[in-house]
Structure 1
């Protein structure tokens, strides 16, 4: 032995506590010869005599007394390493990287994240907003542990996908707009007016442009913004009409004057998804968060299946 090891330190402390090598050996289920060999090697490594024989057994020398204090402190620190690492493996501590689309963040994540962090206060969640295709890319490239997105493009084969929440798109218009007299609208109604859109690559823009291409119509977007709040503000001032999730439309209609119309199109209902590389290889904290996010949906599915 040319290094100090925890086993030898624990044996040394046991000998000091019991007062004899034989008693320490019995307590540790070792032979007295094996314990003596460990102690001799420890003295060699430290170049110090640690124990002296008495007519009652052994007792620590001055160096031995100093080592006893140091060894107890060192072993306590090592025990803390084990405890801390066990807390990481059980998900009590850790960092979870989450990427999600703006719609997912604003509609679905605030309450589940709050309740999760209440249960696991030592877990840190790093939440980043990205466009849905970029969410998938981030998870596939291990830049995120969990992704929540709209499945607008083909999923990479190495990702695990789960159904998440759904929403419905609605049309918002300023008060007094011709469409503000309508309770429901269709694609041709939209395309007859100037639109305010979200930034390029947003899921709503992709869905709208796909629908317009299938109908062989053009989309006239006059202004593009980067948030639902800005979108609603632009609409309320009469600059155009816009599509956004119905829940966000109703939330913003409390503070700015808007009219909300139902979008009567099949693509207005959107189904979000949650993806990971593999649940079994996720860090423990990420596994716990994934299960927490999916639990209400799984409970609802089981309830629907009950007779």
Structure 2
């Protein structure tokens, strides 16, 4: 029978690190080489960990080891714990260098394509002793990273389940139909989605939130959304549209910088769902650092 882990006995991070090494290498011997220790000592450490948890973590076979279901669960948590410890060590090191805190921000591609880099740049200029890292992720991964403690802030479109996270308002944008100036629809004051569904088009980030939104609204109009070309970025979509290969539905804020010198025509998309709202996500205040709260408040201050 499995024994529960005593609540008063925290797991040893060294044992967790060794366990992760064994799982990643698939071999106690290779993990021992990687960790610069004797294989017998590593095996003894793993045995003590299994005894402490009261369950088998590894299955031994002729070609090495693989984690049991319990081992798989521990492997995921161990990686989170070790990553959190590494971030804490790095942040404390930054304090020693004069930096007073760090914030890891994850943002969706749509947000990164607009004003977030400028907003964070302004924040850093005002707070030079804070360090901010910025990475791109899809919305679901941003939420997961925040819940797991792998990030401090997330900035994304509000069309996602935020679970127990705290949402602050940020900026918004407006979708428009982007096309070459010579396109027959380029002089229209506005367009409905149903009016462009038969036109050759460029799709952006297949499977992403905006792609799913457009497909859902096309289905409501009794049509199926199909694209002549699909690309992964909005910048690429603008270049393809400018070449006259089709039209695209894009945020106006992204398309405007590409529209100079008459390269693109931007026609508002007259749909109630065409305005997108972005939010800044954090964990509860008690689980958010002072530096992260300061950046979240700065981003909220420019909410539109």
Q: Scaled by the length of structure 2, what TM-score is found?
A: 0.64
Distance 2:179 2:172 in 1: 23
Instruction: Identify the residue that residue 246 of structure 1 maps to in structure 2.
Output: 252
Instruction: Identify the residue that residue 149 of structure 1 maps to in structure 2.
Output: 156
More helix by share: 1
C-alpha spacing 1:144/1:267, structure 2 compared with 1 (3 Å) = same
Distance 1:173 1:122 in 2: 44
Distance 2:145 2:261 in 1: 35
Q: In the TM superposition, what is the alpha-carbon distance from 1:256 to its structure 2 partner? A: 6.7
2:238 pairs with 1:232:
yes
- Is contact 1:172–1:249 with CA below 8 Å preserved after alignment? yes
The 3-state SS of whatever aligns with 1:93 is: coil
Instruction: Identify the residue that residue 184 of structure 1 maps to in structure 2.
Output: 190
Distance 1:150 1:115 in 2: 22
Query: Please, which runs of 5 or more residues in structure 2 have no aligned partner?
Result: 1-90
Distance 1:288 1:233 in 2: 37
Alpha-carbon deviations, 1:257-291, whole Å to 9, x = none?
11111100011111111111113321222121112
Instruction: Identify the residue that residue 77 of structure 2 maps to in structure 1.
Output: none
2:108 pairs with 1:101:
yes
Alpha-carbon deviations, 1:70-115, whole Å to 9, x = none?
xxxxxxxxxxxxxx97x95xx9622211111122122221222112
- Is contact 1:175–1:259 with CA below 8 Å preserved after alignment? yes
Where in structure 1 do 4 or more consecutive aligned residues deviate above 6 Å?
none
2:261 pairs with 1:283:
no
C-alpha spacing 1:290/1:211, structure 2 compared with 1 (3 Å) = same
Of residues 204, 209, 218, the one that matches 1:212 is 218
How many residue pairs were aligned?
213
Distance 1:99 1:255 in 2: 34
